[in-house]
Structure 1
Amino acid sequence: MPATKSVKLNTGAEMPTVGLGTWKSAPGQVEHAVEFALKSGYTHVDTAAAYQNEKEVGQGIAASGVARGSIFLTTKLDNPDQKEPEAALESSLSNLGTEYLDLWLMHWPAPMTKGTPALADKTHDWLDTWKSMEKLYKAHPEKLRAIGVSNFSVEFLKRLLAVAEVVPAVNQIELHPSCPQADVVAYCAKKGIVITAYSPLGSDNSPLLTNEVVTKLATKHNVQPANILVSLHANTPNTTVLPKSVTNARILSNMKIVDLNEEEITELYEIDKTHHFRACHPDWTGWGSLGFPDCN
């Protein structure tokens, strides 16, 4: 299937396929990365309250001079804020310098206490958090264009959909050839939930960048290995992708998407049979791995 430029959400909105990820992008760098990306043609930016860089992302958006209506902006509700989602929403809007979010995600199904160290808050059910997010979405369409989740396994999605009045527009998960999460991808496709792939390269210094299958395809298509890994998701229906960089050349390079045929896509996903790993290892104190011991 040829690469797509956007994916339609269950709200009817179009979400740009390739966005700029900002996880681990430090203040002092991320505002420039966002500004440069938007000036260079990106129209999709992803951040989170937990990344502690929303203000800088907002500064980058403002400095770019790109009209807010031309940008698809996502942020996420942090675990310690699950009891107070309305206050958290207002904080994110203020930090980002925007009147609305195109997408607001529950970052993890793991309520935590405030303070240091943050501990599992077992007095609060994350399903109640979703119900609060639904109420805010319905009451304030001028502030929230769509709501969704992040890091949800099939088990958590089933629990959510059993009580949800609003089907999540997106489930953002770690996704790359060594972490295919095929069960989650298939379940979301069945339920009309768009997948957003984070860490599509396998994160920093990923072995995928030197994998023989990836490098072979990169040579064949005359692109960098990273382009093949990003293109894999752009060639997958119902999927958007978030390559992350704070380097101008890489930000530009990551925009280059190539069409992959079915045989090439199959070959990439077969990497998982011999080279299997996760870049993000959740181990929230008191919650454990939340049902993500691996990526199968």
Structure 2
Amino acid sequence: MSDRITTPHLSIPRLGFGTWRLSGAECQAAVESALGLGYRAVDTAEMYGNEEPVGAGLKASGLSRGEIFLTSKVWWENLGRIRQHCEASLSRLGTDYLDLYLIHWPSPDIDVAQAMHDLARLREEGLARAVGVANFPAGLLKRAIETGVPIAANQVEYHALLSQDRLLEVTRAQGIVLTAYAPLAQGRLASDPRIGAIAGRHGVTAAQVALAWLLRQDGVNAIPKASRPETQKANLEALALAAKLTDTDVAEIDALPKDQRFVNPPFAPDWAA
């Protein structure tokens, strides 16, 4: 299994570093640590309020810009000014381009055609090398695909307690990467006894097993957040574990209830759409 996913639209590390709820000096230190350990993808967003420390961490790492896959996102209330907000993100991050720029959430009244057109312009002009969406259910993703704009990724909540089978049918058929955020169900899977039993058979942690279950899937990458270097390292080790999970392990995780969604703000779309 390759450590990267390559499609006609992008080549992205299978495991990236998420920065939601990291801020200030802690965020910068976490980004530096992650890059030092070997992460090569960093995910942020204008809504996180941490693009400046993320950018500082990238610079302090000593890595060249081309070695790092950098993702940011435009907030749903700003879809009428996508270019302006992308440029502001670039300024805060201290970079000339993003490897991936996403619509963070669809607004309740989203003009899909206009939003995708505006993203396409960023790609054509080199501000973003690839573009995509986040939190788009299958029906809305199909509408975005119908605009003809190349969609590189759809970033959604995905973990061992929430099925994304319906969405994966669409993304895999279209060569779209499904990026799993909250891949440990906001920490719940780290203490799940059912996954813990599988972890015991391998001499690893439940969190590593839960991540490995995602990382072994076709067209899926994950962006766990971890501020501590020890946790960052443990998450990286899940890449190797992904190839070691047995059919029995996978079947046991597949059999867990898959209807538990933990990120569902008032402005969220109809997930069944």
Q: Tell me the TM-score normalised to structure 2 length.
A: 0.93
The CA distance in 1 between the partners of 2:111 and 2:106, in whole Å, is 9
Give the corresponding residue for 1:34: 31
Equivalent of residue 90 in structure 2, options 81, 89, 93:
93
Contact 1:4-1:235 at 8 Å conserved across structures? no
Distance in 2 between the 1:59 and 1:184 partners?
35
Partner of residue 214, structure 2? 233
Shift of 1:165: 2.2
Aligned partner of 2:174 in structure 1 is: 191
* Counterpart AA for 1:173: V
Q: Establish whether residue 179 from structure 1 lines up as the match of residue 177 from structure 2.
A: no
Pick which of 126-135 and 233-242 moved more.
126-135
Matches within 5 A, 1:244-283: 244-257=225-238, 258=241, 259=243, 260-272=245-257, 276-283=259-266
Cα-to-partner distance string for 1:39-75 (whole Å, 9 max, x where unaligned): 1111010011111111110011111111111111101
Q: Which of the residues 11, 14, 17 maps onto 1:17?
A: 14
Q: How does 1:57-68 map to 2 (within 5 A)?
A: 57-68=54-65
Q: Tell me whether 1:127 sits opposite 2:113 in the alignment.
A: yes
3-state secondary structure, aligned to 2:264: coil
CA distance in structure 2 between the partners assigned to 1:190 and 1:262 by the alignment? 24
Uncovered stretches (5+) of structure 2, i.e. residues with no partner: none
The counterpart of 2:129, out of the listed 131, 145, 169, is 145
On the 8 A contact 1:10/1:193 being kept in 2, the answer is no
CA positional deviation for 1:279: 2.0
Q: Partners of 2:225 and 2:254 in 1: how far apart?
A: 21
Query: Residues of 2 paired with 1:125 and 1:59: CA distance?
Result: 35
Distance 1:232 1:9 in 2: 21
What is the percentage of aligned positions where both structures have the same residue?
A: 32
Unaligned runs of 5+ in 1: 111-119
Q: Structure 1 residues 16, 271: closer, same or farther in 2, change over 3 A?
A: same
Give how far 1:230 is off.
1.1
Secondary structure of 1:195's aligned partner: strand
Displaced runs of 4 or more, over 4 A: none
More helix by share: 2
Q: Is the 8 A contact 1:134 1:165 kept in 2?
A: no
Deviations 1:179-209 (A, max 9, x none): 12210112211111111100000014x1x22
Query: CA RMSD of the aligned region, Å?
Result: 1.7
**Distance in structure 2 (CA, Å) of the matches to 1:76 and 1:126:** 16
CA distance in 1, matches of 2:17, 2:128: 20
Paired with 2:47 and 2:136, the residues of 1 have a C-alpha distance of 17
Q: Partner of 1:114 in structure 2? A: none
